[in-house]
């Protein structure tokens, strides 16, 4: 059974942990480098990426997170977690840093310019034909991706139709929306499978 950590600095930690347990994983709240060492995969919840960056730095987690991502740790980031996995941010706070790992530019608060939060149907490659009722909260979108990044889903309606909202690069997965807030945990199942396969490869 894989142990999947949930970065517990901020955000929907309990909802992610429950969804992961439903997908057959053991979970661990990660606040310290020693806890990070023990996990086979990690979820970075939504929240506020500037706060999360500052907290990660003051908890001495930023460099350990970067090192484990470089070493191939599977990580799934939702919303602010997506921002944390981006190599580049637009509309970030001055000096704002990320963990990085996905060769993409993410625009912070992109949808939030029109509305703070909304729901929209989104289909994701490899996660079934039924669309997700995706919940977006001051969400980023992916402005551009490098050649190694697979686009898994795009906004399907409204003024922002076609915007990239889900991506994968190797063992790194990110969505603009919050699947932990609905009963539909296909993203967590997909990620738990990714973690299991990564463990088999090691």
Exactly one of 36, 137, 165, 195 binds ligand GLN (CB under 6 A); which one? 137
Question: Of 98 and 196, which CB lies nearer to ligand GLN in the complex structure?
Answer: 98
Locus of tokens 């921002």 = 83
Q: Min. distance of Cβ 134 from ligand GLN in angstroms?
A: 12
The pair phi, psi for residue 10, each rounded to 5°, is -175, 150
**Residue 112 CB, nearest distance to ligand GLN (Å)?**
6
- 137 appears as a binding residue in the annotation: yes
Nearer to ligand GLN, 2 or 47 (CB): 47
Contact call for residue 83 and ligand GLN (CB under 6 A)? yes
Name which of 3 and 50 has its Cβ closer to ligand GLN. Answer: 50
| Residue 102, SS3 per DSSP | strand
Q: Which is nearer to ligand GLN, 99 or 196 (CB)?
A: 99
* CB of 24 closer than 8 Å to CB of 1: yes
CB 182 within 8 A of CB 147: no
Rounded CA-CA distance 110/132 in Å is 20
Stretch that binds ligand GLN, among 33-41, 43-51, 125-133, 192-200 (CB under 6 A): 43-51
Residue number of the CB atom closest to ligand GLN: 46
Is residue 12 within 8 Å of 180, Cβ to Cβ? yes
C-beta atoms surrounding 200 within 10 Å? 7
Handedness of CA 2, 22, 121, 159 (dihedral sign): negative
Name the minimum Å distance from CB 34 to ligand GLN.
Answer: 26
How far apart, in whole angstroms, are the C-alpha atoms of residue 75 and residue 41? 6
- Does the annotation flag 47 for ligand binding? yes
- Is 70 annotated as ligand-binding? no
For residues 122 and 63, give the distance between their C-alpha atoms in angstroms, rounded to a whole number. Answer: 34
> Minimum distance from CB of 88 to ligand GLN (Å)?
14
Chain residues that interact with ligand GLN, rule: CB under 6 A: 46-49, 79-80, 83, 108-109, 137-138
């Amino acid at each position: 059974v894989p142990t999947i950590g949930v970065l517990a600095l901020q955000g929907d930690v309990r909802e992610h942990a429950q969804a992961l347990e439903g997908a057959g994983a053991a979970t661990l709240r990660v606040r310290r480098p020693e806890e990070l060492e023990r996990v086979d995969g990690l979820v970075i919840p939504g929240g506020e990426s500037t706060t999360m960056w500052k907290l990660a730095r003051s908890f001495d987690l930023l460099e350990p997170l970067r090192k484990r991502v470089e070493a191939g740790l599977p990580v799934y980031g939702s919303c602010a977690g997506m921002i944390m996995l981006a190599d580049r941010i637009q509309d970030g706070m001055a000096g704002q840093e990320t963990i990085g790992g996905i060769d993409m530019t993410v625009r912070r608060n992109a949808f939030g310019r029109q509305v703070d939060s909304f729901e929209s149907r989104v289909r994701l490659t490899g996660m079934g034909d039924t669309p997700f009722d995706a919940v977006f909260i001051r969400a980023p979108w992916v402005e551009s991706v490098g050649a190694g990044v697979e686009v898994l889903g795009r906004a399907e309606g409204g003024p922002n139709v076609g915007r990239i909202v889900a991506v994968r690069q190797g063992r790194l997965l990110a969505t603009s929306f919050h699947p932990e807030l609905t009963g539909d945990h296909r993203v967590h199942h997909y990620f738990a499978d990714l973690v299991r396969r990564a463990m088999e490869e090691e």
